[in-house]
Amino acid sequence: MAKNDLITGSIWDEYSNQVIRRMDEPTHQGEITEEMAKEMGGKLIVADFGAESCGDAVRLYWVVNEESEVVMDSKFKSFGCGTAIASSDVMAELCIGKTVDEAVKITNIDVEFALRDHPDVPAVPPQKMHCSVMAYDVIKKAAGTYKGVDMESFETEQIVCECARVSLGTIQEVIRLNDLTTVEQITDYTKAGAFCKSCIKPGGHEEKDIYLVDILADTRAAMEQERLKVAADASASGEATFDKMTIVQRIKMVDEVLDVDIRPMLIMDGGNMEIIDIKENMPHYDIYIRYLGACNGCASGDTGTLYAIESVLKQKVDENIRVLPI
């Protein structure tokens, strides 16, 4: 049990099953020795990185094929909380089979996303997001050690928060992915601005080129412009967006998508489905369905099949759709 996290009761609900499993039973935790690397025919790389802000640290082991520069094996040791262990475990896993140049492109966003049980549900509570940032940094440290260069040479984006080493691109992406509206939310998700606070707004002890308040305002403005453009394009083509449709139009649109992407799969297994109702439960659109034939009573109707239906409708109809079997 990852007791360092001091998690009890319902707080577990904020962690994905993947995180909980990897906290207790990490797949890639361990050490690689020079002898083990030689037996594999590769070069051993060992990189250490510590986050002074939270006291966590991680050691990353790589075995690299020097001809192909592919990471043949990857393990880690983590000195910190359970979430750091889970993030480091996924980080090591993502490195295996990639070239050094490919591995260094793995970001903290990739690490956190790989820990999710569902694409739309964060794997960890906001205050634990910084653990995946540390995993991102130790990869750059390992790549720099292998290539004989400083890890900062891999920075392709501007670092906004030096304390937590969070880049401009990461902040923009987190705002978009999670529809953030406040600087406090940015800090919760990335740890940017959580420490010296100089990057939040002008007036701190250190002057910055860009601040979180500016990034939030600019990103939200860009998101709104994109939304207006999509609405304008739909209006120009005579197509109403889902939120502007009547209930009949919504059912027809959903049915058309199901006919192409879902029903053929169900029919092959002797089943089918029908739409019972679509209700607004803002910000969601709840679509009530009934399974037919072999799908009625099938165990996957509440798991894999339901997830597939909802994912397709989110992608092709509206991202706020929820599918509820009755």
What amino acid positions are annotated as catalytic residues?
54, 131
Radius of gyration over alpha carbons of the chain, in Å?
Answer: 23
Which of helix, strand or coil describes residue 289?
strand
Question: From CA 51, how far away is CA 79, in angstroms rounded?
Answer: 10
- Cα–Cα distances (Å) from 39 to 33, 93, 156, in that order, read 10, 20, 35
109, 110, 114, 119: CA torsion to nearest 10: 60
Tokens 């029903």, residue located? 263
**Angle (deg, nearest 10), helices 130-147 and 82-95:** 40
Residue 193, judged by CB atoms within 10 A of its CB (0-12, 13-18, 19+), counts as buried
The alpha helices in 191-295, defined as continuous H runs, are 212-236, 247-261, 263-268
Question: From CA 244, how far away is CA 163, in angstroms rounded?
Answer: 45
- Cα–Cα distances (Å) from 45 to 18, 98, 124, 152, 201, in that order, read 27, 15, 29, 18, 40
Question: From CA 108, how far away is CA 91, in angstroms rounded?
Answer: 9
